[in-house]
Structure formats: structure tokens, C-alpha cells
């Protein structure tokens, strides 16, 4: 899957995409207007979520994917069209999330937390992108 982490000011993600054993590298986070969006799931899910997020005029089918949205109002996750607001100062989604959260709890930066997750999660890898709000 992936590791995507965010604080109240920035978001970071790895680039590894494993599609039935075929590894490719894609960008999983994007700055969109006054927010940053990241999606853990299939390669095309980020594009689908962005289209929905801009209009929100239809039902959202995320399948097994999760979107992470950072706005000036806080951190939100989406598994359907109903957002969940997280009150924590940072949050993580994806298969490497538990490792990244442990690293963040220990004072690591977002980028360092993904590097830590990369050591334990075989679905986290490649270059790390960081976007500031």
C-alpha cells in the first residue's frame, strides 16, 4: 500500500506502488487550492478522489482506499463522502502508518517517519515527497 503522514502544516508520502507484484513509483500527494490531498490505495484513486473532492456532487466509492486531506481547519480522512476530523497534531494512513506514527511519537519529522516505516513495511519505498500547506 503506502505510507502517507501529515502534521497541521505539511504532508509527506512515499512513491512505491505495488500492482500485483509489479513495482512502479507514483506521486501520491497533491497540493489542491488551499489543501493537500493524499490517497493510500490504487494508483488511479488520487485522481478519482480529487475529481470528487472538487465537486462533491455524487457518492464517493473509495473501495479499500483512504484519502487524507489537510486544510487550515485540520486533518481529515475520507473512506466515504463523510469526512472524519482528527484532533491529533499528526496522522498517518497506509500500510506503514503504525511505524510512521511511532516515529512521530518519538519526535521524528514527517520525512524521517516515512524512512522509519520504509524499514519495516515492504509496501513503503522510493522517494519521499513533502508538501507544505
Domain ranges of the chain: 4-125
Q: What angle do CA 98, 128, 67 make, to 5 degrees?
A: 55
Single out the residue of 15, 5, 36, 28 nearest to residue 109, CA to CA.
Answer: 5
Q: Which fold has domain 4-125?
A: 3.60.20
pTM of the model: 0.93
Residues 82-130 pLDDT 10s: 899 999 999 999 999 999 999 999 999 999 999 999 999 999 999 999 9
pLDDT, tens digit, 9 for 90 and up, residues 8-67: 999 999 999 887 778 889 999 999 999 999 999 877 888 888 889 888 877 888 888 899
Amino acid at each position: 500500500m503506502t505510507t502517507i503522514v501529515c502534521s497541521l502544516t505539511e504532508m509527506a508520502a512515499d512513491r512505491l506502488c505495488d500492482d500485483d507484484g509489479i513495482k512502479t513509483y507514483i506521486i501520491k500527494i497533491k497540493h489542491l487550492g488551499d489543501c493537500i490531498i493524499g490517497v493510500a490505495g490504487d494508483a488511479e484513486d488520487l485522481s478519482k478522489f480529487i475529481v470528487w473532492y472538487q465537486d462533491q456532487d455524487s457518492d464517493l466509492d473509495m473501495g479499500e482506499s483512504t484519502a487524507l486531506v489537510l486544510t487550515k481547519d485540520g486533518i481529515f480522512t475520507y473512506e466515504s463522502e463523510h469526512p472524519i476530523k482528527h484532533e491529533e497534531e499528526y496522522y498517518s494512513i497506509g500500510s506503514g502508518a503504525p511505524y510512521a506514527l511511532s516515529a512521530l511519537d518519538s519526535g521524528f519529522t514527517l520525512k524521517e517517519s516515512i524512512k522509519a516505516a520504509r524499514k519495516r513495511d515492504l509496501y513503503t519505498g522510493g522517494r519521499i515527497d513533502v508538501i507544505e500547506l
